[in-house]
Amino acid sequence: MGRLLSALAFAALVAVSPARGEIADTPPTLSPKIIAELTLDELFAELPEHAGSPPGQRIEAEILKRFSRSGSDTADLLMSWASSAIEAKDYPHALDILDQAVLVKPDFAEAWNKRATVYFLIDDYSASISDIRQTLALEPRHFGALAGLGMIFQAMERKNDAIQVFERALEINPQLDKVREALEELKKDTAGDDI
């Protein structure tokens, strides 16, 4: 049990991921309100402890919510427009908007990550990796950026690099089932490569 929950004297939480079985009832003390009051560092500290449980899912959602807030109304509006352009598969327009977002708020990790995603979608791996590096420089625990980097390495046949990055993403957020599946496949593919 994480030290934060012990300090808050929460009841022990035993749950299983929905993909793996039943979800246990959540004690009322670990409410969305309590999770919303935790600092980002506290959320990250607790996430691995509650992976696959309802509190773990709420913690992940809160982290993603905080990632999406830039602190700038202009940057947030640009991100909204970029998301619409991405949904419409208008990647050149999305890139133009995201270029503006990183200019308006260069310390906003999610703007860099979103632009990295668009570069990935248009197969510009070099530009995507560059933006992921910037994302991780601003927020080293950005598990989405790490997962994206692993996917790029996988696409580039850099399997050992992909394995390392996927393992790091899962250390931070063990709830990334697709990353876990990709990691298991890569490990099977590379078994015996060192012989």
pLDDT digits (tens, 9 = 90+) for 121-158: 999 999 999 999 999 999 999 999 999 999 999 999 99
Question: Is the pLDDT assigned to residue 16 strictly greater than 50?
Answer: no
- Regarding pTM above 0.85, the answer is no
* CA angle, 126 then 108 then 34, to 5°: 125
Cβ distance 24 to 16 under 8 Å? Answer: yes
| 171: number of Cβ within 10 Å | 12
The Cα–Cα gap between 13 and 29 comes to: 11
Amino acid at 158: R
The Cα–Cα gap between 48 and 56 comes to: 8
Q: Where are the domains of the chain?
A: 3-67
Closest to 120 in 3D by CA, of 96, 142, 153 = 153
pLDDT digits (tens, 9 = 90+) for 46-101: 999 999 999 999 999 999 999 999 999 999 999 999 999 999 999 999 999 999 99
Q: For 107-117, give one letter per residue: b (16+ CB within 10 A) or e.
A: ebbbbbbbbbb
**134 φ, ψ to 5°?**
-65, -40
